[in-house]
Amino acid sequence: SLHVTYSPEYPDLLPQFRIDSPVGLDEDETAQLHSLVVESAETMLGMAMVFGVQAGAVEALEAFVRARDDRNEADRERRLAEEEAAEKAKYAGTKVTMDSFTQWRTKFLKELAEQERVRALMRAEANKGKITGRALFEKDKTLAKSDMGLMADGDVTVDASQFEGLEDDAEEEEEEN
């Protein structure tokens, strides 16, 4: 609030101005407002000035509020821009060039080869001492003939050599359809 104390020589002599409880103003803004009130009053010496001083004070307060709002908005926009830049930085990766890709691919292929080697060693270790079915039949020819005794009269034997190449013909027909 603006308090005015008139002197007996008013309007030829400036009245005393006091600003109480400037809501939301800091000390610097209060001092600026007081000096604006005094300057405004000095320009109106010799005539009624309180209404004009009060109007000037209202305009100054509105300017202070607009400036503060502008600063707050600029700060908010700056913080948003910083947050957005930080968010983008999270997802920004290494730029891929031909050299970096080649280095990565070489390393990746070495890792795959190492994994395959480990798997092969694990399979060999798991099959250690075991013999495969093919190896069994190659080792003991009587195993192939042992099932012949289980065949009953009227069963047909099939010669697999007659069907060689038929698989290739079936694949070609599927491709055509």
**pTM check: above 0.75:** no
Among 14, 34, 17, smallest CA distance to 25 is for 34
pLDDT in tens, 59-96: 888 888 888 889 899 999 999 999 999 888 888 877 88
Q: What is the mean pLDDT of residues 147-171?
A: 68
Q: What is the mean pLDDT of residues 137-141?
A: 75
Asked whether the CA dihedral 119, 121, 124, 129 is positive or negative, the reply is negative
- Distance separating alpha carbons of residues 107 and 26, to the nearest angstrom: 63
Q: What is the mean pLDDT of residues 118-145?
A: 78
Chain-wide mean pLDDT for the chain?
A: 79
- pLDDT given at position 81: 94
pLDDT in tens, 144-153: 666 666 666 6
- Token output for 153: 């009269």
* pLDDT above 90: residue 111: yes
Residue 116's pLDDT band, with cuts at 50, 70 and 90, is: very high
Higher pLDDT, 99 or 132: 99
* pLDDT above 90: residue 53: no
Q: What is the mean pLDDT of residues 88-109?
A: 89
Q: What would the DSSP string read from start to end of the chain? A: -EEEE--TTTTTSPPEEEE---TT--HHHHHHHHHHHHHHHHHTTTS--HHHHHHHHHHHHHHHHHHHHHHHHHHHHHHHHHHHHHHHHHH--PPP-HHHHHHHHHHHHHHHHHHHHHHHHHHHHHTTT---HHHHHHH-THHHHHGGGGPPTTPPP--GGGGTTHHHHHHHHHHH-
Are 53 and 40 within 8 A, CB to CB? yes
- pLDDT given at position 173: 65
Of the listed ranges 14-23, 32-41, 79-88, 101-110, the least confidently predicted one is: 14-23
- Token output for 85: 């830049």
Could you give the maximum distance between any two Cα atoms of the chain, in Å?
A: 145
Q: What is the mean pLDDT of residues 21-25?
A: 68
Residue 167's pLDDT band, with cuts at 50, 70 and 90, is: low
* pLDDT above 70: residue 140: yes
Asked whether the CA dihedral 45, 50, 52, 57 is positive or negative, the reply is positive
* pLDDT above 70: residue 126: yes
